[in-house]
Structure 1
Amino acid sequence: MAIKMNDEKILKFLEMIKPKIKKELLQANFQDREDLEQKLTLFIVKFLKENEFEEVDFFELLKQSSASEVAHRTPPGSFAQCESVASATNVLSVRKRSVSNKCFL
Structure 2
Amino acid sequence: MEAIDRTTLWTVIILLGLGSFGLRFVFTGLIGDRALPPWLLRHLRYTAVAILPALVTPLVIWPAGTGGQFDAPRVIAALVTLSVGYFTKNVLAAIISGAASLYGFLYLLG
Write 1 or 2 for the structure with the bigger share of strand. 1
Q: Which has the higher contact order (CA 8 A, sep 6+)?
A: 1
Structure showing greater Rg = 1
Write 1 or 2 for the structure with the bigger share of helix. 2
TM-score for the superposition, normalised by structure 2: 0.29
TM-score for the superposition, normalised by structure 1: 0.30
